[in-house]
Chain A
Amino acid sequence: MPTLHITSLKVQQGNFCLQIEDWRANGGEVVLLAGPNGSGKTTFQEAAMGVRRGAVRTLTWNGQPRERLVPLAAYVPTNLAFFPAAQPNQLVPLFRTMYPTWSEEAFSRWASEWKLSLRRPLKTLSMGEKRRFFLALGLATRASILVLDEPLTNVDPEMAYVLADDFVRLAREEGLLIWVSTNFLEPFWGRFDRADFLKEGLLVHRMGGEEAAQTMPRDLWRRIYP
């Protein structure tokens, strides 16, 4: 499986400094990124994607150096500022032009499985519905890496478990690297390959799936962030 390898990542913004010396993840894995608000989760993912200004880092995918991760990776951000008056099915043609690997069949499948409303303006959709729509767009790109920023936020608990199941299945069956920034760890519990914990811009703990099986998310949280 190909490996995403990031070294010497640094983002300096005022008093805040994000520094990641060595980070790697493989295709077929589900890797979580957790940490308190403001610890640098979004900054880390944006810097890795190459869309954060002022970020310095070295990045390779499958041994090949890369400046930006798009369109190899699809990034579904937490801030979804898209045409509020547009209907989801009007946005699809735009995404089709951006990704040569775009799959109409995949989009239709996810739209159907996640019960998306494609003919209502985005401004009338709930936050959870919008989130599911943008996740479906991300999956339909058929990118090798999915970088998801808070994908379970605003989604109802039942759907959160459905989404987590789907992400894990995509990683295992199709070999995608799923990199999820979230503090809602329970839906992934016992099934992720690694969880990285950030604090004030530094990676303070890395935990494998086996270690996670021996503890509960709340205890873990208290241990890492006393």
Chain B
Amino acid sequence: MKPAWALFLLNLRATALRHVFAPLCISLVVAALLAYAGSGPLEAEEEALALALLGILAFMQAPLALAFSPLEDLVLSAHSFRRSWPLSPRSYGTALLLSAAFPPIATAGLGVAFLGFFFHEALGNEGVLFSACFAFRMALGGALFALTGYWARMVYHERAWVRNGGFYIPFLLFAGIAASHSAAGAKILMASFKALASPSLGAVDLFLGVLLFATWVLTVRLDKVLP
């Protein structure tokens, strides 16, 4: 087994509670809140799509919010490994990327499976496809977010707002729900959702992919210049 995979699996096992159970519980609470939010000023189909996408967002936000804490263990430990044991910067950066990407990707999959099942009736296969595209892009974005969060932690580790930054994301979600219930907010949200959920939007994927790769390269380099 390669050191990067071993480090990733170790991080996953050591932080399984935070990686899996806590995000799942928070997601379920947010999904219940979404159901309670009821209908907004949209057409029935749009309403269903908006709820499906917001549901995925609900599934996504918890691991994003919690991505910081599993990464904290990995960052601290990997720095120790890097300094004292023969762990290459590439292995270290790859383990970091895998650990950052895993929570959003895993829960995006869960979100698609869970919500796709419920919204298949209302939206058909197209709705499931939209959800999948949206979840995929959110997963990429989530990994990017977690990695840049790692940078922020390393550079501004003494700042409490950076340490707890992930926990502000639920508030953004609730702001999104509130916005979806105003006519203008709903239109803006729908436009963004449709753009992100469009299967033909290759430029966004390319952009996120390139950004993620660049972040990985910089993470490997950054470790050399940080204390």
Contact = CB atoms under 8 A, between A and B. Distances in A.
Q: Please determine whether chains A and B interact with each other in the same assembly.
A: yes
Interface of A: 46, 49, 51, 53, 70-71, 74-77, 79-86, 90-91, 93-99
Given A84-B73, A94-B6, A99 B80 contact: no
A84 to B, nearest CB: 7
B39 interface: no
B73 A51 contact: no
Contacts of A94: 3, 6-7, 10, 81
A85 B73 contact: yes
Contacts of A93: 1, 6, 9-10
A53 B227 CA distance: 8
A46 B80 CA distance: 12
Contacts of A74: 85
A83 B3 contact: no
B80 A97 contact: no
- The interface centre, meaning the residue of A49, A84, A85, A90 with most chain B CB atoms within 10 A of its CB, is A85
Main secondary structure of the interface of B (DSSP, over half): helix
A81 B86 contact: no
Contacts of B6: 93-94, 96-97
B90 to A, nearest CB: 13
Interface string B202-221: 00000000000000000000
Contacts of B81: 82, 94, 98
Contacts of A51: 82-84
B14 to A, nearest CB: 4
Interface string B1-39: 111001101110111010000000000000000000000
A77 B83 CA distance: 9
Nearest to A137: B85
B87 A75 contact: no
Interface string B76-109: 1101111111110000000000000000000000
Nearest to B16: A85
A81 B73 CA distance: 9
A80 B11 CA distance: 16
Contacts of B74: 83
A99 to B, nearest CB: 7
A81 B10 contact: no
A170 to B, nearest CB: 19
Contact of B87 (A53, A96, A98): A98
Contacts of A97: 1-3, 6
B85 A98 contact: yes
B84 A99 contact: no
B77 A82 contact: yes
21 contacts: A53-B227, A70-B84, A75-B85, A76-B84, A77-B83, A79-B80, A81-B80, A82-B76, A82-B77, A85-B17, A85-B73, A86-B14, A90-B13, A93-B10, A94-B3, A94-B6, A96-B6, A97-B3, A97-B6, A98-B3, A98-B87
